[in-house]
Amino acid sequence: MNLKSRFKQLCSPFTEDHQLIYDLWQEIETKYSEKGRHYHNLFHLENMFRELEAVRMNISDFTALSFSVFYHDVIYDAASKANEEKSAAKAVKRLAELHIHQDTISIISEQILATKSHHRSDHEDTNYLLDADLSVLGKDFKTYLEYTQNIRKEYSIYPEFLYKPGRKKVLKHFLEFESIFKTEYFKEKYEAQAKENIAAELRLL
């Protein structure tokens, strides 16, 4: 299912206003297609949904999690340290327009905010979101290298002497976790390769 169809299907139980759904999708598509989004784009969303579909039976509220995927990077500026907060705020505002229950909106907001630090959550659905978000870390090294190159392009405003220390800090942050991936499924699937990939990138920096 393509992203547009998925989003339309996701919104349909909450409103019969097709124009509203169209407008919300257009905003998402426009945001994720902004110039400079070499990694945090629609392809990233597609990959996350591909990963999450494989564990759908383990997720208690796939609807909420799906909204979290769509909105988790809707605001993205490489120079900002408040992308997650701004994305969560955007989600809260837009989902209220769909008249989604406030409790569900709060869960979605918390899930989006959790992608800032990627610490283990007490909410297992959130852990699946975090793992899908980081799944690229455990892909084959060729795919991983493409990811690192795209991240570098997104941070092209920074010269090497600023980018490299910042990137090292991010990578070491992941390695400081007891495990990068929070759920057993993703841990078994990607943990070992992710650590190899990160170690290899650190040697290149």
The pLDDT tens digits of the residues spanning 143-162 come to: 999 999 999 999 999 999 99
Task: Let me know whether 97 and 122 are in one domain.
Answer: yes
Residue that is last in its domain, among 133, 155, 176: 133
**The one-letter amino acid at 137:** L
Q: Domain tally for the chain?
A: 2
**Distance in angstroms (rounded) separating the CA atoms of residues 102 and 149:** 39
Task: Let me know whether 88 and 153 are in one domain.
Answer: no
Task: Let me know whether 102 and 5 are in one domain.
Answer: yes
Alpha-helical regions (H) of 33-159: 42-53, 62-71, 83-97, 102-114, 124-133, 141-154
Q: Tokens 């406030």 identify what position?
A: 102
**Distance in angstroms (rounded) separating the CA atoms of residues 96 and 113:** 18
* pLDDT average, residue stretch 90-99: 98
Label residue 1 by pLDDT band (50, 70, 90). Answer: confident
User: pTM for the complete prediction?
Assistant: 0.97
Task: Let me know whether 176 and 124 are in one domain.
Answer: no
Other Cβ atoms within 10 Å of 12 Cβ, number: 12
Residue that is last in its domain, among 133, 165, 191: 133
Task: Let me know whether 89 and 177 are in one domain.
Answer: no
Task: Let me know whether 203 and 156 are in one domain.
Answer: yes
| Contact call for residues 141 and 197 (beta carbons, < 8 A) | yes
DSSP-derived letter for residue 16 is -
Q: Tokens 């705020």 identify what position?
A: 89
Task: Let me know whether 129 and 148 are in one domain.
Answer: no
User: Residue by residue, what is the 3-state secondary structure of 134-187?
Assistant: CHHHHCCHHHHHHHHHHHHHHCCCCCHHHHHHHHHHHHHHHHHCCCCCCCHHHH
The reported pLDDT for the residue numbered 14 is 98
Task: Let me know whether 111 and 192 are in one domain.
Answer: no
The pLDDT tens digits of the residues spanning 42-54 come to: 999 999 999 999 9
Structure tokens at 169: 């800090």
Q: What number of CA atoms fall less than 13 Å from residue 61's CA on the CB side?
A: 16
Task: Let me know whether 121 and 183 are in one domain.
Answer: no
Q: Which domain holds residue 41?
A: 1-133
Task: Let me know whether 88 and 164 are in one domain.
Answer: no
**Distance in angstroms (rounded) separating the CA atoms of residues 26 and 151:** 24
Q: Which residues contact 195 (CB under 8 A, 6 or more apart)?
A: 175, 180
Percent pLDDT > 70 in the chain is: 100
Q: Output the average pLDDT for the chain.
A: 97
Task: Let me know whether 105 and 184 are in one domain.
Answer: no
DSSP-derived letter for residue 58 is G
Task: Let me know whether 56 and 25 are in one domain.
Answer: yes
Residue that is last in its domain, among 133, 152, 185: 133
SS3 8: helix
